[in-house]
Amino acid sequence: MTNKMQALVKAKSEPGLWLQSAPVPEIGPDDVLIKINKTGICGTDIHIWNWDEWAQKTVPVPLITGHEFAGEIVEIGRRVEGLELGQRCSGEGHLIGKTSRQSRAGKFHLDPATRGIGVNEPGAFAQYLRLPAFNVVPLPDDIPDEIGAILDPLGNAVHTALSFDLVGEDVLVTGAGPIGIMAAAVARHVGARHVVITDVNQARLDLAARVADVIPVNVTTQDLAQVESDLKMKEGFDVGLEMSGNQQALDQMVEALVMGGHIALLGIPPGKSPVDWSRIVFKAITIKGVYGREIFETWYKMIAMLQNGLDISGVITHRFPVAEFEQGFAAMKSGQSGKVVLDWT
């Protein structure tokens, strides 16, 4: 194997990414080397491309970016057990520490020392990725690489959707981006009664209706209260999944929930947002902030659901060879796409 590879690199402190030659990573005794087959473009990657304030404060330059991937193991560290050469896999992109109370208690997703591949450490937009064996998630034969490449965002959707009991409940999802659409599909799959998803982007609402058995609502032209009435809902939604990061969407969700309702909050508003806490207090609403995936409970859950009939393949709308990565990023930035997958083979 050559010691050089192609990689998408944040090579300059300015907008863009650059396809460059880079050294193939050297692995340690507890690592594996993964040959990348497919990668997904994430909203985080768009922030890094745009080189916004968050990216400038967070991402070291130069850095190989990307954290959504599927591939196969081509090298194994000498202390690694339970994995095999040629094994197909995805993996958890959060690299955890081992000394915090949360990590030592097995609550790995809450470890404050977490670092992200493609954000703080070299990532998966490359022909090869070094990853701790602990982070590897083997892929069953019935989950193709392009689905394996979007398990990271699906994990965000699953973590959010399963934050509260959904069986027989009425669920409101605000934000019809790819993760919101997948969360809506998960809610229906696990037994929610009505699932309504709201947005202002009609193209993404149309995609939501194609991917999942949900009711899309364009809040610029439709009245959410009328939708509730049409569904014969008497008291409001039981659970809200806020995926948009939009303050107006959160305000509308609070108003639409039942007394004692629950909100799982994945969307991140830009900067500080005014919140009418009196409405939340007087309605006795529980809010849970969601970050990433529960390591590794979420991975087990989502793989089981995919093997049990959850179909989110329709959320992938664009596929490009890595040489056309600029078109892939343009599709993501257009607001007219679902997930965009790059092919490294």
Q: How many domains does the chain have?
A: 2
Do residues 122 and 8 make contact, with C-beta atoms less than 8 angstroms apart?
A: no
Q: Is residue 105 situated within a structural domain?
A: yes
156: nearest Cα among 342, 334, 299, 335: 299
Q: Are residues 20 and 141 in the same domain?
A: yes
Q: Are residues 126 and 162 in the same domain?
A: no
pLDDT in tens, 11-57: 999 999 999 999 999 999 999 999 999 999 999 999 999 999 999 99
The pLDDT value given to residue 267: 93
Q: Is residue 86 situated within a structural domain?
A: yes
The dihedrals phi and psi of 40, each to the nearest 5 degrees, come to -105, 145
Percentage of the residues of the chain whose pLDDT score is greater than 70: 100
Q: Are residues 20 and 64 in the same domain?
A: yes
pLDDT for residue 321 is more than 70 = yes
Query: CB neighbours (10 Å) of residue 276?
Result: 12
pLDDT for residue 331 is more than 90 = yes
Q: Is residue 306 situated within a structural domain?
A: no
Q: Are residues 117 and 238 in the same domain?
A: no
330: nearest Cα among 6, 7, 67, 49: 49
Q: Are residues 9 and 143 in the same domain?
A: yes
Q: Are residues 127 and 50 in the same domain?
A: yes
Distances (CA, A) of 253 to 48, 198, 236: 30, 10, 10
65: nearest Cα among 14, 142, 25, 123: 123
The pLDDT value given to residue 273: 83
Q: Are residues 265 and 339 in the same domain?
A: no
Question: Which CATH number goes with the domain that contains 50?
Answer: 3.90.180.10
Give me the amino acid identity at 117: I
Strand partners, 94: 116
Q: Are residues 161 and 140 in the same domain?
A: no
Q: Could you say which of 2, 39, 47, 109 is catalytic? A: 47
What gap in Å lies between CA 109 and CA 289, rounded to an integer?
A: 12
162: nearest Cα among 296, 294, 295, 311: 294
Q: Is residue 298 situated within a structural domain?
A: no
Q: Are residues 141 and 164 in the same domain?
A: no
Q: Is residue 76 situated within a structural domain?
A: yes
Q: Are residues 114 and 185 in the same domain?
A: no
Q: Are residues 132 and 206 in the same domain?
A: no
pLDDT for residue 230 is more than 70 = yes
The pLDDT value given to residue 251: 94
Give me the chain's average pLDDT, please: 96
Q: Is residue 294 situated within a structural domain?
A: no
What would the mean pLDDT of 182-194 be, rounded to a whole number? 98
Q: Is residue 73 situated within a structural domain?
A: yes
For 162-223, where are the alpha helices, taking DSSP H only?
178-189, 202-211
pLDDT in tens, 265-283: 999 887 788 889 999 999 9
The pLDDT value given to residue 274: 87
Q: Could you say which of 44, 65, 160, 298 is catalytic? A: 44
Is 194 an active-site residue?
no
pLDDT for residue 217 is more than 80 = yes
* Dihedral angle of Cα 65, 68, 72, 76, to the nearest 10 degrees: 60
Parent domain of 18: 4-150+312-343
What would the mean pLDDT of 207-223 be, rounded to a whole number? 97
Q: Is residue 58 situated within a structural domain?
A: yes
Helices (H) and strands (E) in the chain, counts: 12, 18
pLDDT for residue 2 is more than 80 = no
pLDDT in tens, 146-160: 999 999 999 999 999
The pLDDT value given to residue 271: 79
pLDDT for residue 123 is more than 80 = yes
Is 44 an active-site residue?
yes
Q: Are residues 125 and 238 in the same domain?
A: no
The pLDDT value given to residue 1: 60
